[in-house]
Structure formats: structure tokens, C-alpha cells
Amino acid sequence: ELKVEQNPLFLSMQEGKNYTIYCNYSTTSDRLYWYRQDPGKSLESLFVLLSNGAVKQEGRLMASLDTKARLSTLHITAAVHDLSATYFCAVGYYGNKLVFGAGTILRVKS
Amino acid sequence: DAGVTQSPTHLIKTRGQQVTLRCSPKSGHDTVSWYQQALGQGPQFIFQYYEEEERQRGNFPDRFSGHQFPNYSSELNVNALLLGDSALYLCASSLDPGGGWDTEAFFGQGTRLTVV
């Protein structure tokens, strides 16, 4: 059974500093997705990583995938308040099934 | 393109009742998956419909059932509601990968179900 682990589960960030969220998964997959969720809202797609070594960047967020290590990272550069949300990684499994991590709650302090 | 739409957005039901949630997939998509997200947790896969049949199922009891219509829209039914069924129910649509690994899923805004 595929398991997805995120850490940390909670991240209190200071504005302007850099942080990383880690996503480990237990079985082979070449598909890794990152989502953002604001309170009471649905999932907003951030990144789709489709191959080993894939790196994508959008604003202050950068995601990478190492399929050999079964690890994806979401790096936050110079945190700002509007990045406060819950971030999920999800591993794409055969037949369009997604297995999600537990989520990382990000809070940015001024 | 309206994207994935779900109805209703909020629902309050009493224990023991039955509920039906609806999902219209993104235009061109033929596969609908349902997820349950309890408060403070990640979404959990309930089941997936393709060609009007349940193709995959997660670890959910038979009280959870579904249907897919010829126009690819889908319903999720939950019978004999329990307090623990209170959650955000998310519908995701995608295009069948045709034997490949997977294709990107697009999520609806969700239905917030509260069981009292």
C-alpha cells in the first residue's frame, strides 16, 4: 500500500526566511503533485512533477522530484504572509488515483 | 469552460439519513474520482468511476456508493450517515490514461457535509 509522509506537519515561518517541506513516498511513482488549500476551500494545484529530476518554480515556491529517493521537496524563498495555507503533496498512482500526505500547515509571522 | 462543479456547496444532515452529492467534470474528461477530507487531514480516496462503472475503490464501507451517467457526471451517495461522515467531499475529474500511469486531476470546490 502506497504511503505518503510529509514533514513537518506545522511550520511557523518568519517573513523573509527560507524553508523546505519534505514529501516521502513508499512505492514507485513518476507523478508528484503539490496543492495549496486555504481554510474552507478546495485544492489549488501548484505543481505537477512528471519525471525524475523535475524542478518547477512559481514565484517564491520551487518544487523538485527525486524518484530514486522517492522524495519531493517544496522550497519557500523569503516567506511572505500570503503564503500562509496548508500544503499537500500527492502521489499519482496507477489509474488516476491520488494518495495524499497529511498536509503541512504554514503560518508566516510578521 | 466551467471546470469541475459540485453541488450543493454545504449540507446539513441528521444521523441515519441518506445524502447525495453531485459532480460535473471538466469538459472533455471522462473519469471522476471522489475524495473525503476530514477536518485537519489530507483527502482520502473513496472511489473512481469510468465508463459508468466503479473502477477503483478505497477503504470505505458499502454505505458509500456512486454512479456515473452517460454525460460523465457523477453522484456520491452515503447511506445511514454517521457523525464521522462529516467532512469536505471533493470530486476530481481527469482523462483516462488509456493504460498509462495517470493524467492530471482537476478538483471541484467541494461539498461540506455536516452530520448532526
B66 lies within 8 A of chain A by CB: no
Domains annotated on chain A, with CATH: 4-109 (2.60.40.10)
CA distance A18 to A31: 25
Exposure on the CB side of residue A87, measured as CA atoms within 13 A: 28
Q: Are A98 and B92 within 8 A, CB to CB?
A: yes
Please write the tens of the pLDDT for every residue from B4-44.
999 999 999 999 999 999 999 999 899 999 999 999 999 99
Note the residue count of chain A.
Answer: 110
Please write the tens of the pLDDT for every residue from B55-109.
999 999 999 999 999 999 999 999 999 999 999 999 999 887 666 656 788 999 9
Task: Count how many pairs of residues, chain A against chain B, have C-beta atoms within 8 Å.
Answer: 68
How far does the CA of residue A8 sit from the closest CA of chain B (Å)?
14
Q: Are A96 and B97 within 8 A, CB to CB?
A: yes
Q: Where are the strands (E) in A1-103, listed by range?
A: 4-7, 10-14, 19-25, 32-37, 43-49, 55-58, 61-66, 71-76, 85-93, 97-100
Please write the tens of the pLDDT for every residue from A49-71.
988 888 999 999 999 999 999 99
Work out the number of other CB atoms within 10 angstroms of the CB of residue B38: 13
Please write the tens of the pLDDT for every residue from A40-49.
899 999 999 9
A92 alpha-carbon distance from chain centroid: 13
Average of per-residue pLDDT across B108-113: 96
Please write the tens of the pLDDT for every residue from A2-15.
899 999 999 999 99
A95 lies within 8 A of chain B by CB: yes
Q: Is B2 helix (H, G, I), strand (E, B) or coil?
A: coil
Least confident of A16-20, A95-99, B42-46, B56-60: A95-99
The predicted pLDDT at position B41 comes to 94
Q: Are B96 and A48 within 8 A, CB to CB?
A: no
The predicted pLDDT at position B30 comes to 92
Please write the tens of the pLDDT for every residue from A24-39.
999 888 789 999 999 9
Cell numbers that stand for A9 in this block: 506537519
How far does the CA of residue A40 sit from the closest CA of chain B (Å)?
9
B31 lies within 8 A of chain A by CB: yes
- Provide the CATH number for the domain formed by B5-115 in this structure: 2.60.40.10
Identify the helix (H) or strand (E) that includes residue A61: strand A61-66
Amino acid at B50: Y
Q: Are B97 and A95 within 8 A, CB to CB?
A: yes
The predicted pLDDT at position A53 comes to 86
Scanning A56-85 for CB atoms below 8 A from B yields: none
**A82: phi then psi, degrees, rounded to nearest 5:** -75, 5
How far does the CA of residue A42 sit from the closest CA of chain B (Å)?
5
Query: Which of A55, A49, A21 minimizes the C-alpha distance to A33?
Result: A49
Q: Which residue has the cell 508528484?
A: A32
The predicted pLDDT at position A50 comes to 85
How far does the CA of residue B101 sit from the closest CA of chain A (Å)?
5
